[in-house]
Amino acid sequence: MTTESARELHPDDAEYPVRLHDLARAAPDPLYTLGETPWPDVPLVAIVGARAATRYGRAAAARIAARCAAAGVGVVSGLALGIDGAAHRAALARGGWTIAVLGGGLDRVYPPEHASLYTAIARAGRVLSPWHPGAMPMPFRFPARNRVLAALGDVTVVVQADAQSGSRHTVRAALGLGRVVRLVPWPLDHPAYAGNAAWARERRAGVLASADEPARLAAEAWAARRRAAEPADDRARLEQALASGPRTLDALARASGLAIAAAARAATALEIAGRIERTGGDRYRRRPH
């Protein structure tokens, strides 16, 4: 697959991933994206960890990713060797949705050993980059990539991290965004998992109780996000229903597909905002601007 079909997205574009708005001024603008399938509205789990992964770490990443895919939860990772590759492959093997976030331009597949994995993800999921085409995957670019990983995930799972792991950037970003962070249980005193142990000691992240927990936590966070967005969605639907002219509240509820109570709340909010007004016959209309 070539990158000729790659697209450039900006924060005000409808296709721009809504979770990235949580990064505020740090949200990538533009964001480069490559993929052949529509972006589904599903919970997402970011799975991160070491490139020099142990057999236990790779198996844990694959198991968690497979459970996510089976539950309809997407998997986000960074296409790197080790933990990332294991997570992406397991999600694809179960027919799941997976997103790879790169530390360089979309035309710079890194590591080159993952060229076929890159192609598979672009066909069945999505490849993203906060960096312009041609940008080499240099160390200074990876913190920005890790912030995108953290923002996309409703939950971040650290599988394997040593004391100097780059995963610390992802963990800091995820905690700063108020995301849930979980640590895979680690072999006692194993230096490859010193980062896991340190974050647990600091009590900044909880330890996973099961491989199913990330999918469940992500689904709960995703549902809460949707509930929080509903009032704004209701107002937009109500305002759209007034595009053809004034309507009564009952007619507005039918046209917008909202329950009467929800339509009434949305109408009140729009009145207060000065976007609609009441007319004779207890009808609502858009307010002239």
Question: pLDDT by residue (tens digit) across 184-221?
Answer: 999 888 999 998 998 888 877 899 999 999 999 999 99
Tokens of 116: 């076929």
Indicate the pTM of the whole model. 0.80
Residue 214: name the closest of 154, 172, 161, 126 by CA. 154
Q: Which domains are seen in the chain, by residue range?
A: 7-208 (3.40.50.450), 231-286 (1.10.10.10)
pLDDT in the model for residue 73: 97
Q: Which helix (H) or strand (E) holds 156?
A: strand 155-160
Torsion region of 142: left, alpha or beta (phi above 0 gives left; psi -120 to 50 gives alpha)? alpha
Question: What does the pLDDT look like over 105-129, one tens digit per residue?
Answer: 999 999 999 999 999 999 999 999 9
Confidence class for position 13, pLDDT limits 50, 70, 90: confident
Structure-model confidence comparison of residues 187 and 32, the more confident one: 32
C-alpha–C-alpha distance, residues 287 and 277, integer Å:
6
- Please tell me the distance from the alpha carbon of residue 145 to that of residue 236, in angstroms, as a whole number: 33
Share above pLDDT 90 across residues of the chain, in percent, rounded to a whole number = 63
DSSP assignment of 193-239: GHHHHHHHHTTSSEEPS-TTHHHHHHHHHHHHHHHHHHHHHHHHHHH
